[in-house]
Each structure stands twice: as C-alpha cells, then as structure tokens.
Amino acid sequence: METALIGREHSLRMLRSRLERARASHGGLVLVTGEAGIGKTSLVRSAVAEAREHGDMLVVHGSCWDSDGTPGFWPWTQAVRSLRRGSAAGEWEAAATAAGGALSVLLGEGTGAGDALRFELFDAVTTLLTVMSRSRPVTVVLEDLHWADAASLHLLEFTAQHAWFERLLVIGTYREMEVQRPDHPLRPLLPRLAARATTVALTGLAPPQVEELVARTAGSRPDAATAAEVCARTGGNPYFVEETARLWSAGQPVAAVAPGVRAVVHRRLALLGTPTVRLLGAAAVLGRRFARGTLARTAGTPEPVAAGLLGETVAAGLLEPSAGDAYVFTHDLVRESLYDGLAEERRRHLHAAAVRTLRDTAGAGDRARPTDLARHAYFAGPDLDAVEAVDILTAAARHAVSRLASEEAVGHYRRALERLGTGDPHRHVLLALDLGAELQLLGEHERSWLVYEDAATLASGTGDAGLVGRVALTLHSADGRGDGTGLKSRALREAHRVLVPGPRPADGGPGAPGASAAPGGAGPVEEVARRVVAAARAAGDDDALHLGLWARLHAVWEPRTAAQRVDVAAELMEVSRRRADVWMEHLAASMRWVALLELDDPAFLRQFYAMVAGADACGLPRTRMISVIDRSVVYAFMGRFPEADGLLARTLALSGTHANYYQFFIGHHRWALSLLQGGFPEAERAHRASPGQDPLYTHVLAGITALEQGTASTGAMPWPGDGPPGDSVLERGIAPLRVRLLAQSAAASRDPARCRQAHAALEPYRGQWLVSLFGWDISGPAALWSGLLHAAEEQWDAAVRDFTAARQSADRLHGRPWSVRARTELARALLARAGSDDETRATALLRDTETEARELGMPHIADQSHNLLRSLTSSARPVAVEREFVRHGTVWRLRYAGRTVHVPDAKGLADLHTLLGRPGQDVPATRLLYPDSAPMAAAAAALGSDAVLDDEAKSRYRRRLEVLDDEIDRAAASGDDNTAAAYDREREALLTELRAAAGLAGRPRRLGDETDRARKNVTARIRDSLRRLTPHHPELAAHLQASVSTGALCRYAPADETRWRL
C-alpha cells in the first residue's frame, strides 16, 4: 500500500468518487491541473492504485513528450499498447476487431490500414475503449497534456464525448500555467476540454503540511523556523519540498532550493559518479524514454557497463525501468537539467551519434523513427555531414506529408533549408518549392509566396534554364492569393524568355502579361511545359518530367483538350510509378477519370474504381484522402447522396479546423451536393460560409443558386460578365461554371442577345460535360444547357434533340440526377411542341421522373414533375396561346389575347404571379403575405385556425418528458447533481411551452390572427392591382377577376388549361 498523500485528501476523494462512478455506471473526463512538481502524477497514481486493489478496473497509461521528434498521437499510442498488454485472453482481439484496422496507426504495425484517416482513427480508438469497458471498467490516464500535439487533444475531446455513457473514465494531467501562455499552441484547446470535465486543481501545500512532508522525506522533523523557510522558498510545491528536504537531511542548507529545481537536480547529480552523470547526459539527448542498447551505442559505452550505471540511477530515483530494456526519467525536469548542462560541443556530438545509432537500428513499424532522426540530425549541427542531415530532414518532411501532417512537414523543410544554406542552390530551390506547397496546403498563402520569391530569385541566379522553368511551372499551379508582387506572371515571363525562342514579352509576344493561346496554338505555360518535358525526357530526369507533365495538365485545362489531358495523365501515372511517388500516381489517376467524364466516356468509371482500389490498397492517408474526396463527388454524380454526404463528413474531419487548401474545395462540394438535392438554404449557407473568396467565384455560385431555386428576378438576372481580374488558375477552374450561369441566366431572361452569347460559350463543350475546379464540380452535360436555351427561344425541335442527348449521356455515365433533370426538361419541351404523340411521351417521362426523383432524394424535381402531371390530368386540352406575366426589375410585362402592356411593380401583381404558377392549387394567403419568411414560420402561419400543438407534437412532448424523468432519476442515483439539474431545467422549459399552448381550462390555443390578417391584406392588394390594370388591359383584368378567388386560401382556376410564360 502506498504512503498516504499529504494535503491531498479532498482531491483524492474527488478522484475516488469518479472512479467509483465509472465502475458502477458511467465515466467521463477528469483533468488534474497544477504546476510542475505539484503532485499531479502522485495523486492520480494513488487513486488508480486503490481502484485496482478494490476491483477489476483496467488502467492504462500514456504520457506526452516535449520534443520536436514526437510523432502525432504519441500518448494514445502508449495507452493503446498498454491496453493490449493488460487485456485478458480474447478480450483484446474482440475489441480490436470491432474497432477496425485504423488502430494499426497507433500500434506501429506498418503503413497499410494503420495510416488511417483522422476520423477513422478517432472512431476506432473510441470503439476500442467502449467495447473493452462493457466487460470491465476502463480508466485511461494521459499525463502532461501541455506537451500533447493538437491531434491527440482532438482525439481526447472525441473520446470524452462518449465516455459519459460508458464505464470509461479518462484522466488527464497538465500544467495550467504553461497552457495559459499567449503563445502556447494548445491554449485554445485545453480550456475547451476543461469546460466538459471535472477539474481537480492542485495548489501548494499549507505550512503544516510542508512540515509534515519534510519530516517524512528527511526522517526527522524540522523546527518551526526551518519549516517556514522551506514553505516560503518552495511555495509548497511537493516536489520542490521533497528535493529540498533530501538536501537538507544530507546537510545542505535550505537556501539551496531557492534557485529552483534545476539547482536541486544538479546537487543530486553531484552525488553520482562521473561516468553515471555522463551516461545520463547522453540519455537526456535521446529523450524522456530510451532503450538501454540505444543509449549504450550512442554514448559509446559497453552495454553491460551501461546496465550497471543505469541501476545506480534507478536507485537514486532519477530513472524508472520500463518495458523491455527501456528506461524513463522520473521527472522531465531531471532530463531538462541534464540536457541544459551539456556543453554545446558534447551535445552536438551526442545528437550525431544518435543519428548513426537510430539509422542502423531502424524498425519498419516505428513511426517515430523519421522524426527522431530529423531532430537529432538538426541539432547535430556541423558534427553531421550537411548532405546527410538534409537527406534525413527531407525524408522526415515527406514522411510527414504522407501522413497529412503539413505543420510537421513545414518544420522539417525549414530546418533542411537552414542546414543546407546556399551551397547547393539547385537543391535549395527544389526544397523551397516543396516548402511553399505545404504552406499553401495550410492556407498560409502570404508566407508561401515569400518562400517562392526566394526560390525564383535563387533559380534565376543559377543560369539553369530548366530550373527556372520548373519554378515557373510550380508557381503557375499555385494558389495566387498572397502573390502581391505578381511573381507568378514574372516567373512565367522569365521562363519563357530563357526557354522559348521568339518575340520577347516587350514585343507583345506569347510571354506577355495576359497573353493566352490562340485557337489551336499553345499558350506560354504550355510552351514552357513542353520545353521542360522535352529536356527531361532527353536527360532521363523523371523529377523534371513529372513536374512538366503536371504543369501541362493545368496549362491545357480547356474544353477542347480533354482528350489530350487523358494521355498526359496516363503518362504522368507511369512516371510517378517509376519515381515511386504513390501520391502523384493516384492524383494523376484522379485527373484522368475527370477528363474521361468530360469526354462523355463511360470508361471514366473503370479508371475511377481502379484509382479508389489503388488508394485503399496503398493505405497512405494522403492517397486515401483522394479516394474519399473522389468517391463523394462521383457518388453525388450518381445520385448516391447519403454515401456522398457521409464521405463529405469524413473529408471535413480530415481537413482539420484551421484554414487550409482543402476547405475551399470542400465548401464548394457541399454547395454542389446541396444544390443537386434541392437543399437551397444549405446551398446558400455553403457559398456564403467562406468570406474573402474571389468575387467572381462568389457571384457565380450566388447566381446559380438563385436561378435553381427560382428566386432570381428576370429583370436583374445574375450575369457572369467579364468579372474582375483574379488568379488565372481559379478563373480557368470555374470557366465551365461561368458558362452554366451564362446559359441558365440567358434562358431565364429569354433575351435573344444573351441566348446567342450563351450558345457561343457552350459551343466548345458540345458533346461534353461541364466539369469545373479540376473535378470538384460536375455541372451536367452541355446538351442540357443548350436545350434550355433552345426552349427559351421556343425552338422546340432543337430543345427536344438536346434534352434527349443530355438524357442519353447521363444514362450512359450513370449520372441519375442529371438524367432525371434532363427527362423533366424534355417533358416540358415535348408539351410545348405539342406534336402528335408528344403529350403521351411527356406523361410517361414525368411519371418516371417523379418516382425516381423522390427515390433519389430530389424533392424539388419530383414536385415539378408532379405539378406538370397534374396539369395534364385536366379534362380540357391545353390552349397554345402565348401569355406572359413576367417581371423585369420594377416593371411587369403582361401579354394576353394578343395584347402586351407594361405596368409598374405592385405586391398584388406578385401575388397574381404566384397564383398563375400554381393553377388549380390552393395557396394559403399567409404564404403570399410572407413569401420570404422561414419555412417553419410560414408553415405555422399557414395552419389557419388549427391547434398550436397537434396530436403528433403533443406525443413528442410526452415522450421527451418521459425520457427526461428517467435521466433525472439516473443522475440523482449516481450523485451527479449538476446533470440532474440540467435535465430538470429542460423539463421545466417543456412544461412551460405546453402551458403556453393551452387556453382557458386547458383548451388548445388556436392559430387564427395571422391567417385573418393575411386574408385581408392579400385580398385588398390583389383587388387594387386588378382595379389599376383594368384601364390598361381590360381583357386580362376581366380574365383574372373571373379566375382568381381570394380568402384564407387563394386559387387561380381558369376555365381552360391556360399556360403562362412566367
């Protein structure tokens, strides 16, 4: 039994109660805070030791490490390994099977499924712990969270959300004062965890308790003056007190504690032999935990001698034995003091020795090895060959990139550049380009362009034309945000000057700013890329060839070059295989299926599925990310919306919360996915969620959204125009989206000039699909939009032809949402053409599309089909009379009985417009009065005199109250008064709402006021508009007076099947 802790009785009781609750019912999160040495570890160990003795609780540990070489999720790696060691026979296998293969990322068992996506990893760890906790309670102890990586804390937060409902308790310790530093990277994260945790804050011991601790430690009780002095100098910190007491008992003065623990550690070390201290110094270089064999080889000490010396340090309480031949420092302050006490020359020598030792003993499953090697290589300084150091740092950076750890990769690249200096300008430029790319992925655009500027300047000074070309091509593919000096265009001009003979930019040649390729010709980017590719092929330089091919893919990203891009992507895949560049191989495969889809080639699906299978087999997080992204896009294209939504959620979890490259595209995909499903409010939120985006891009998305939901006024129709100048890559990337907006806007306006312009813009896409943003956006077959234009021009044969082609293309490529859309438009065109069997064909199409649209989850298309079918069931035949009721800004164009008039805008005309669009349907007056209100508010107002709460609502209130009663009883039984109070407050709020919904004597309160107000207002303004219309167009006014009825429900019921252009 451990000696009782002094002065920690209250904190120990609190921990015991949480442990008992976890054993009996449910767990949670406990955070133990305090400064270094305050006793956090002792408190936790004492509590969990008692829990072990009095029950079957399984306790696992993990601790964080303050080192640049620590891999992500390190504390969780230790905890999961501890869980595996401590589980009973068969227990681990069952839980691990339930968790899935993502656990291997923590167990260091290869790079296959172990390098899982972050969300999969979080789910796997949480599943593992919850499954284990169902057979016996589990406590996870994570120490020194102030040194944790952000990913480990996010995993802790994720796990803690589930711990409350299971017999799972998570205990974390951290130094609160360190986290409160303004520059601490975890400052915003740990307080968020603390908000959902039980916090045990440890402070210094009181004077009587310090006296007791000194007496226990020293073996003799100090006098009052000595005890008071120790308390004043140490602040009651138990570790400081103990160290001071030991020194005091050895004859040292109490004042020796005053400079801090480091002085105490040095005095303790002075009691050890010189060989022991020297060995401990080498151990401090290796880190908090180290293997005996690794230490012996690094220090140049025979292993049997090292074993003896380590035994001496264990006896002195400086080290603790761990699993195998490993040792752990008892306190990081000991290690820090030893490390700081090393001479600079000695420190560098030991880091260099550590590099050689670790390199010779590298293990395939050790994820920490690249980062460990990189840390030692950097701090070895001149004691390690610069080329070797840069090789190690570069390898660590690329290893981090493969794990989606861009922040870590940036650090390694920066150190590699620092270590390299300017001795090898060619390699310096290439490393700088890699650094800039990672900064762009992190969303640090301005910093990336500063790095690119240095790379371009250095490349220009080398006189190497190929290197200048590679810089220009890399910058051309980069995000232009942050390029405040026009470096992208300057680098391209420089590359064109040195690589391509002919007129210079000053002559207005192809390298001039803004120059683009003539039809059938090559632009400056493609010309530079061709030269780089040709030179690379001649030299057998696959690195340069890969960059040139990648640049060519971007340079020729135009509708007429899709076939060329298929071939370039195929060659890039082959070059990537030769370079063992799995990431680029899969990215090229992704670009290839995109180009095939553009070409209306069903083979795109074979390429797509091959790419997904390859990414999953590879198992690297970065390549599997491509699989997740592409599957979400393609599944949306195929109408598999639930799967696409789920994959989008995984992509969001993967991208993190900080601004980065992927968030822009993820936001766009969320918009496109919402739009396909008719989720117009969600689509509006998605395109508005990213302030600061390119104005042209924002305008295009807002315009398409408005047109799709029918809220765009034909008088102020969204129109792409030329747009403000922006980044050329983005402008090319959204070019098909702009064409779509052009076509939809022109069709909606029915303006002949606009329609002609839209036809011309669509011409290059004939027979293809509109694909934007390198595959993130698929905006349907071009034939669909040309069909809309023909319909707007009332060229019905051409419209039927194009809609039929769009349907066939969508069916061929398994794009069910686009097939449904094309068939709906085809039915409209057939009805308008009114050929001999057109109505029969249209009826069959509409029945199919209504069923399929509802099945897919496209209610807006299903409703359109339903309404068209309903209009066809009328006994009267449609009358082919041209009638218009169209608003152009503040003026309405009204045509009826061969007569056209223009009248000023009025609310009553807008009401009539709505009714004309719903012939034979009852429209609540409240909907006319509040056309822009939230759907729920409009629905509530439209209920007329119905009860505030119907039977279904009452039933749901009753069920929720029953659940709350059970939860209150459960919380009260477990002693959780805070939770019980929270549930009780919710229960009281629901009862208040129920009382508000009841009238006198408990009678249901009715909704009548809003309906009556809407009836009066709408009736008055419709009558006023008809009165004003009579002098201008008496025939139309008479028709509407005879056909429109007003009241709580309004209706347009013409004598014949009157069809309007609205």
pLDDT digits (tens, 9 = 90+) for 509-524: 434 434 444 333 457 8
32 within 8 A of 43, measured Cβ to Cβ: yes
What value does the mean pLDDT take over residues 964-977? 66
| Average pLDDT of span 914-935 | 78
CA–CA gap between residue 2 and residue 42 (Å, rounded) = 10
Provide the residue type at 612 as one letter.
Answer: V
One-letter amino acid for residue 627 of the chain: S
Percent of the chain with pLDDT over 70: 81
d(CA 809, CA 801): 12
**Higher local confidence (pLDDT), 548 or 736:** 736
Q: Give pLDDT, residue 254.
A: 65
pLDDT above 50: residue 945 = no
- At 682-711, the pLDDT tens digits run 888 876 765 456 677 888 888 899 899 876
What is the distance between the alpha carbons of residues 805 and 797, in angstroms, rounded to a whole number?
12
Q: The tokens of 666 are what?
A: 């993820």
The reported pLDDT for the residue numbered 628 is 87
Query: For residue 719, what pLDDT is reported?
Result: 54
Q: Which two tokens stand for residue 122?
A: 């979080």
Tokens for 1051? Answer: 């209706």
761 neighbors 801 (Cβ within 8 angstroms): no
- Residue 511 CA to residue 493 CA, distance in Å, equals 5
* Res. 629 pLDDT band, cuts 50 70 90: confident
Residue type, 531: R
Mean pLDDT on 809-816: 96
Q: Which residue has the tokens 């999961």?
A: 80
The CA distance from 751 to 50, in Å, is 82
pLDDT for residue 604: 94
pLDDT per residue as tens digits for the range 525-572: 788 888 888 888 888 888 888 878 887 787 677 778 889 899 999 999
Average pLDDT, the chain: 82
Q: What gap in Å lies between CA 938 and CA 419, rounded to an integer?
A: 66
**Rounded CA separation 975/706 (Å):** 54
User: Residue 948: pLDDT above 60?
Assistant: no
pLDDT, tens only, 757-771: 999 999 999 999 999
Residue 779 three-state SS: strand
Task: Look at strands 58-63 and 28-33 and give their pairing.
Answer: unpaired
- pLDDT for 265-310, tens place per residue? 676 676 678 888 899 999 999 988 899 999 999 999 999 999 999 9
pLDDT: is 1043 or 998 the higher one? Answer: 1043
Crossing angle of helices 344-360 and 274-286, in 10° steps, is 60
Residue 809 pLDDT > 70: yes
Q: Cα–Cα distance between 161 and 952 in angstroms, integer?
A: 31
pLDDT for residue 881 = 47
Residue 450 has pLDDT above 80, yes or no: yes
**672: confidence class by pLDDT, cuts 50, 70, 90:** very high
Taking the C-alpha atoms of residue 478 and residue 452, their distance in angstroms, rounded to an integer, is 10
Residue 198 bridge partners (DSSP) = 30
Q: Is 173 helix (H, G, I), strand (E, B) or coil?
A: strand
pLDDT at 113 over 50: no
pLDDT digits (tens, 9 = 90+) for 201-211: 988 888 899 89
At position 211, the amino acid (one-letter code) is E
Highest averaged pLDDT of the listed ranges 572-581, 850-859, 896-905: 850-859
Q: Is 997 exposed, middle or buried (0-12, 13-18, 19+ CB in 10 A)?
A: middle
Q: Comparing C-alpha atoms, which of 671, 675, 761, 659 is closest to residue 719?
A: 761
**What amino acid is encoded at 189 in this protein?**
L
What is the rounded CA–CA span in Å between residue 661 and residue 147? 27
Whether the predicted pLDDT of 991 surpasses 70 = no
Q: Is 424 helix (H, G, I), strand (E, B) or coil?
A: coil
The C-alpha atoms of residue 473 and residue 464 are separated, in whole angstroms, by: 14
**What letter represents residue 217's amino acid?**
T
Res. 995: pLDDT tops 70: no
The type of residue at 288 is R
Other C-beta atoms within 10 Å of 454: how many?
Answer: 16
Question: In this predicted model, what pLDDT tens digit does every residue of 347-390 receive, in sequence order?
Answer: 999 999 999 998 887 554 455 578 889 999 999 999 999 999 99
Looking up tokens 């303006």 gives 751
C-alpha distances (whole Å) from 44 to each of 23, 173, 200, 606, 905 are 16, 9, 10, 56, 74
Residue 612 has pLDDT above 80, yes or no: yes
Question: pLDDT per residue over 217-229, tens digit each?
Answer: 888 899 888 888 7
How many whole angstroms separate alpha carbon 906 and alpha carbon 550? 57
Does 508 have pLDDT greater than 50? no
Whether residue 587 contacts residue 774, with contact meaning beta carbons closer than 8 Å, is answered with no
pLDDT at 598: 95
Nearest alpha carbon to residue 375 among 355, 395, 398: 355
**Number of residues written out for the chain:** 1062
